Amino acid sequence: MRRKQRVCARAPSPLSQSRSRKRGSKTRKMGDILNDKRSMISGINGLLGIPIPVGADLTWRVLKSQLRSESYYKTKLQSALNVIHECFEPSKDPYTDRDIAEDIVFDLESDSELNLRGFYTVILERKDDRDYYEDMVCAATVRINEVAGVAELPLVATRPQYRRLGMCRILMNELEKRLVQFGIERLVLPSAQSALSTWTSSSIGFSVMTDAEISQLSALHGFLDFKGTVMCHKLLLK
């Protein structure tokens, strides 16, 4: 069994908080986004809670605590948090001493200087037809910045018994397909050193970001970063 990775967020840098957008960058105006029925704002909310078949016994869903209050969805969010805690050592926000993963998954308000709001949780479940039980396989957190055309994916977790079975790839395939439909150009994630070769493999297709690329993206979107990780990205629209 792999050793758990530690979740420990870096404090926001002045670069990601204050640098202005460069001229000539390809971004969409907020007015255009709100008037566009294909936009992720309206599109992803329209998918909330809907089970999407992605295999014989597998379903893919998008969840968000603040937009669906039913106990059924909160139970699924708790299961997703349990999967994340199973794969990552819980870590406290240095500003509030609260669990970072919990604040992200449940989109909780806090006084933290870290920007932990606005995340959706994406899950992959396996259904057992014999007892109608849905077992959580993978969970990931995603946040969209449509103005920058970027989605960030800071936490991706697969339960140990489902690893090396292509389950994470199934979750990612559906997520990337949906992001492309809504015009998201790039997907960004912080990879642990131990997982870097997996994320940058030809089957998944991420590449390590250069310092210049990180600086340019930070000017458009203050993404969540973690100590000891390597920032990677994947161009979805080529």
Task: Identify the pLDDT of residue 3.
Answer: 43
From the CB of residue 60, how many other CB atoms can be counted at a distance below 10 Å?
24
Question: Is 0.85 topped by the overall pTM?
Answer: no
Looking at CATH, the fold of the domain delimited by 5-10+18-235 is given as Aminopeptidase (3.40.630)
In this predicted structure, what is the pLDDT of residue 23?
Answer: 32
Confidence at residue 89, expressed as pLDDT on a 0 to 100 scale: 84
Q: How far is CA 62 from CA 51, 125, 173, 236, in A?
A: 8, 11, 14, 19
What backbone phi and psi angles, to 5 degrees, belong to 50?
-75, 125
Which of these, 226, 236, 229, 62, lies nearest to 143 by C-alpha position?
62
- pLDDT mean for each 10 residues of the chain (238 residues): 47 31 39 49 82 93 80 91 92 90 91 87 88 87 90 96 95 95 92 94 95 88 84 91
What ranges do the domains of the chain cover? 5-10+18-235
109 within 8 A of 93, measured Cβ to Cβ: no
Do 78 and 140 touch, CB atoms closer than 8 A? Answer: no
pLDDT of 67: 65
- Give the per-residue pLDDT at 34: 42
Nearest alpha-carbon partner for 187 in 223, 151, 160: 151
The upper half-sphere exposure of residue 10, i.e. CA atoms within 13 Å in the direction of its Cβ, equals 17
Closest CA to 223 of 120, 108, 145, 121: 145
Token code pair at residue 172: 């990612």
pLDDT number for residue 159: 96
Residues near 204 by beta carbon (within 8 Å), at least 6 away in sequence:
169, 172, 198, 234
Which residues lie below 8 Å from residue 228, measured CB to CB, with a gap of 6+? 6, 8, 192, 193
Structure tokens at 234: 């994947």
pLDDT at res. 69: 66
Looking at residue 25, what is its pLDDT?
37
Question: Strands 229-235, 207-208: parallel, antiparallel or unpaired by DSSP?
Answer: antiparallel
Round to whole Å and give the CA distance between 228 and 205: 21
